[in-house]
Structure 1
């Protein structure tokens, strides 16, 4: 078991951020982070933000073709990866750094990035590309900050709370798991490297053993947990999303919150509690967000009439 305290996280991220700045990284630049889940990866992502840039998560489990496309299309200023993955990084004009083998000055002071504000880039998430090439969605600090503030207030996430991150590295829900926890000073639990998201039984066994109060599971994983009649001794709120929930029949002993949102709307646009044998809806808009159901002429449809969902905020 590995642990990382906030002081060490901050110091390590500061040192890497200063190194990135020395390489010319600045506001609205992209820095690709190709890595497996782990504490070092949290350091790398935080360092990118501290340098004023936006991070681009690249899942090393993806095919070489997709990795090459993401690293070309996002035009990163620097590529951060782990030593064991260096051979997976295709040829690129950007410098490639193994962030788990630090060879840069250990400057511990917080970097000062003049001019950085809420309209600048926080991260870029690529869509699945199911209808063509993956498309990068650029998320600004202002929309992401709204999600973080709503999440911490709505689900009472605070210093001393325990939560987890199990979403895939290139999935936008991972950002939703990680940053509210770190902003609130909560304890974030990460599965061990040997437990992959494809090993559902092992992943859920690990998840149940953690002293979590609020945590996310992708909807298909949650459905599998429900099918096994799994319970959790400390969990009070389970967040689900990423797919349509088909059934929810038994009270699991904690609140189940269904969340909906396209990547372009910064992870979550609507959210609502589900009740066993109740309607399986997507809830209501989150803070500072509005949704409209419109027809082909962009006019509001009457109750009971099918339309297209528009998100604003």
Structure 2
């Protein structure tokens, strides 16, 4: 086998269809165990990718995500320049690119014999959008080492914790350009606040107190608190997801051990069956030799009787 590092082996394994991943990982681990036990141990610990991450890795392998990630700097510049026309045009282009890539990912998965669900495709969209919003996420997504989907929340950086099979192989995911992310979800609350803060037209009637209250039913709502609550909910959900992944990994490890024991039992049974076949062949040969000996004895006795007559 070609001498590959862990990141290269991981990239190959992460392209394997989910149903075949565990068996292929075990086969690769056994293939290198004799020559490189450290690499074998690393392969054994490689997490099975979430379905959405697998689809994104297929797209990364085809180089289909590079142009999408390249849109990120243009979006961030338009955001910084507060150019509404450029922002609208780029957002429209972003939506078209994301949808096209999501469909391409679904096609690649289907070609690999695995049909993905609409929920998985939603995670694929979110991951591609996160890659366009945050340069660190872009480096992670194009690496081909993704094991968990990503999501961009407002102006916060994308959480990459636990998302890569080999974080050391993708330094730009952690030490990228430092450019601030752009929001994927439009800041509707901010736009409403801007409209509410515009002065009334001169000459117009003074707004009545109750009308002002009706126009702004939640004057004390704190967007920062809402964002914090959303981040906390996302963190809790991500923790639950990691716990579920850990339980799944443990179950897969138990399954692998059971399969190995079954294979050992099968080899032992085959050896016993081979021994039985060998003993039966020896028995048949002994019986044949005994029959030949009896025939010779009978012939000799008959010959002696004939001579005595």
Task: Answer whether TM exceeds 0.5 for this pair.
Answer: no
TM range (shorter): under 0.3
User: Higher relative contact order by CA 8 Å / sep ≥ 6: 1 or 2?
Assistant: 2
- Between Structure 1 and Structure 2, the one with more strand by share is 1
TM score, norm. by length of structure 1? 0.25
TM score, norm. by length of structure 2? 0.25
